[in-house]
Structure 1
């Protein structure tokens, strides 16, 4: 008896349209990408795009909304017990997730300007990530900082990693900056008030 090959399920036509739109919006920008091109590259009839999405903006919103929350990825950073260990795990998780989902993050970064729906989603993603990072840091065994310092540290980590990975596209050259940031924040959160 031969073993049957296991295949990943084929994406639905809707998923295929979203994936194609994500790639094209990231490569060319929202305004420069027509729905006809999305349909052609997805291999579906043009009308099918509008069957699933009333407008091109609805398609853009779906591309941005249907992403995993950063908090899901960051929970694995809770394993280390110390602030320093958690910070290293948080930075590594954020860099990996942002690189893995780079196209969607570029779209959010680029299209948030002038599009309230996208700016709102960007704010939600940032708030969710910083809240998760703050929660992870405050649960470390050696943290002595108050909640305000922990929150500021979380915002700094998320902002810096996003800037290096998405806005500047420099995750490799950012490794030294990230290591220095981890040391600075770890010292700040584990030492008493000045």
Structure 2
């Protein structure tokens, strides 16, 4: 039986874990609740006791998407935007690795389920906010509009990288050089702006 922090998972947690795995592998629509119950080792009625409708299961999984605050002190190298952004990307990659299956599920179901789409938009917004905070901390004199545009580019690059990660088992190696070059280009562009010129 699955364990969490030294104890057995509750029936509800087993149902959610089974649903996460099955939805990610087979898709939401192709996964019957009877299969979720079977994998979770519970009666089908118990699935419906906790989750009246199958979409309620998906909504509960979206709510489990982990929040990962970024510690600016460990990421930012004052005066070096490129090093700071590389450290941020490494941290975001590590967080993504912690929830690869759930991320896969979100990308898979985003086109058909508004709650999932909203969760992905929120994730993008958090990534953009992290990038903006890192740029501003590394280069406080960076004009706000420049930091905003650069943060959006970083978030788009990271989002693309994570969205295709499920197709590449060796995705860090496959994408690392490309994203490093993009981060370097963004940092160089930021460094060309004269903070005295509005």
- TM-score, structure 1 length as denominator? 0.86
Unaligned runs of 5+ in 2: none
Unaligned runs of 5+ in 1: 1-6
**How many residues end up aligned between the 2 structures?**
185
In 1, are the aligned partners of 2:124 and 2:155 still within 8 Å (CA)? yes
Query: 1:177 deviation in Å?
Result: 0.6
- TM-score, structure 2 length as denominator? 0.84
In 2, are the aligned partners of 1:39 and 1:46 still within 8 Å (CA)? yes
- Tell which has more relative contact order, 1 or 2 (C-alpha 8 A, sep 6+): 1
SS in 2 for 1:171: helix
Distance between the aligned counterparts of 1:21 and 1:63, measured in 2? 8
SS in 2 for 1:69: coil
What pairs up with 1:176-191 in 2 under 5 angstroms?
Answer: 176-191=177-192
Deviation digits for residues 107-152 of structure 1 (CA, Å, limit 9, x no counterpart) = 1112111321211121112112211221122111x35432222122
SS in 2 for 1:172: helix
Cα RMSD for the two superposed structures = 2.0
State whether structure 2 residue 174 is matched by structure 1 residue 173: yes
Q: Give the equivalent residue in structure 2 for 1:47.
A: 45
Distance between the aligned counterparts of 2:85 and 2:8, measured in 1? 37
Distance between the aligned counterparts of 1:97 and 1:9, measured in 2? 24
1:10–1:136 distance in 2 versus 1, CA, 3 Å: farther
Q: Give the equivalent residue in structure 2 for 1:14.
A: 12
